[in-house]
Amino acid sequence: DFLAEMKVNFETLNRLAFILVTGGNVGSTALPILGGYAGGPAGTALVMTAYYLLGTLMFQGAYHLTGPVHFRYGCSTTRDSLWVFSVVGRATSRNTRYPAIGLGYAAAGPCTRMYFYEAAAVNLCCVPSGYGGVQTVHPAKAVIDDGVTPMEALFNVEVAYAVTGMRAEQASELVNQLLEKYEKEVEKAPTGKRYQECYDLRTGKPLEEYVRLYDDIKEELINLGIPF
């Protein structure tokens, strides 16, 4: 992992040397801070792109895990963060052979409508922009204990497959519609429920409330234009 911003420590270099000598799999990771040392969206996009070069040259990685994180809100789903995702994906997928995995952080937590809107927006930015993969968008900024469930992973997979091949212009229109649904709530986003509050601990299956919400969200997004 790189440190913010454009730094790496000796501990990481020592681990890297060991992994390279033993023939291990190396993937570089960089999550530039939007509003931090990199500045605004344009500066963050530049730094995020530079990390690709460092990942392949310094870490000799096979792939790159990346995404912007907003300095104030701690998520990747603000309008400017989504722009950074998109422009960096296009630049690097067109001009490098270093595959990237988009990693986003949602402001809202599991079992909330807002989480699904945010996750859909990240996938709509990453997939048409040429990312090699998209990791499950982390709920509740990844700071809540037990604050993630398999349902979020399923949703991200389904959305990513659904928008594969979608033109960037269409994806952009959908993202703007999704932003209208959640953008004003980012600062005070609902933390949602913990795993044990929306899953049956005995069977490992989601509770009926979550299943109904999931189906309802998918129906809403189908009507919006996402072809599940």
Q: For residue 55, which of 28, 26, 32, 30 has the smallest C-alpha distance? A: 28
According to DSSP, residue 108 is labeled: S
Q: Tokens 């990346």, residue?
A: 66
pLDDT in tens, 34-60: 999 999 999 999 999 999 999 999 999
| Whole-number Å distance between alpha carbons of 105 and 141 | 5
Percent of the chain with pLDDT over 70: 100
pLDDT interval class at 4 (50, 70, 90):
confident
The pTM of the full predicted model, rounded to 2 decimals, is 0.96
**Residue range 109-134: mean pLDDT, rounded:** 98
- Tens of pLDDT, residue by residue over 59-96, are 999 999 999 999 999 999 999 999 999 999 999 999 99
Helix residue spans in 71-200 (DSSP H): 79-95, 113-126, 150-162, 168-182, 195-198
Contact of 183 with 75, CB cutoff 8 Å = no
Distance CA(74)–CA(163), nearest Å, equals 26
For residue 68, the 8-state DSSP code is: -
Residue 212 CB coordination number (10 Å): 11
Q: Assign domain 10-224 to its CATH superfamily.
A: Monomethylamine methyltransferase MtmB (3.20.20.460)
Task: State the pairing for strand pair 100-102/63-66.
Answer: parallel
Q: Mean pLDDT, the chain, as a whole number?
A: 97
Confidence of residue 115 (pLDDT cuts 50, 70, 90): very high
Mean pLDDT of 103-128: 99
Q: Determine the Cα–Cα distance for residues 121 and 160; give it in Å rounded to an integer.
A: 10
Residue 32 pLDDT: 98
CB 135 within 8 A of CB 76: no
**Torsion of the alpha carbons at 86, 90, 93 and 94, rounded to the nearest 10:** 180
Report the candidate in 52, 42, 131 with the shortest Cα–Cα distance to residue 84.
Answer: 42
Burial of 95 (0-12, 13-18, 19+ CB in 10 A): exposed
Domain ranges of the chain: 10-224
Q: What percent of the chain has pLDDT over 90?
A: 99
Can you state the angle between helices 113-126 and 168-182, rounded to 10 degrees?
160
Rounded Cα distance, 6 and 37, in Å: 10
Percent of residues in the chain assigned helix, strand, coil, to nearest 5: 50, 10, 40
